[in-house]
Amino acid sequence: MSVRGFVNIDQYSYNKGKKTASICYPGMCGSMISTIRWAHRYGKSDIDFVLKILENSVNEQKKVRNVIKRFNRRFG
């Protein structure tokens, strides 16, 4: 899955025009809400599937944070 929808790239005047990446909180919250809904739906019937969904969600969040760190290190 692409992390583009979860990353904002902004250019502020106080930062001397350099681009800065940050988390898109509405996109990330929407993703987390849908993940929690799926986990709740299958929570009582298939625990292994729920754990897999939640693990994937945590890994996606780690990917987003790594992309932001790399972008800011390279362009910021």
DSSP codes, 26-40: HHHHHHHHHHHHHHH
Up-side HSE of residue 2: CA atoms within 13 Å toward CB?
A: 2
Can you tell me the distance from the alpha carbon of 6 to that of 60, in angstroms, rounded to the nearest whole number?
10
Which pLDDT does position 16 carry in this prediction? 78
Residue located via tokens 């988390």: 23
For the chain of 76 residues, list the mean pLDDT of each consecutive stretch of 10.
79 80 86 86 86 89 91 84
For residue 52, the tally of other CB atoms under 10 A from its CB is 13
Which pLDDT does position 11 carry in this prediction? 84
Which pLDDT does position 69 carry in this prediction? 93
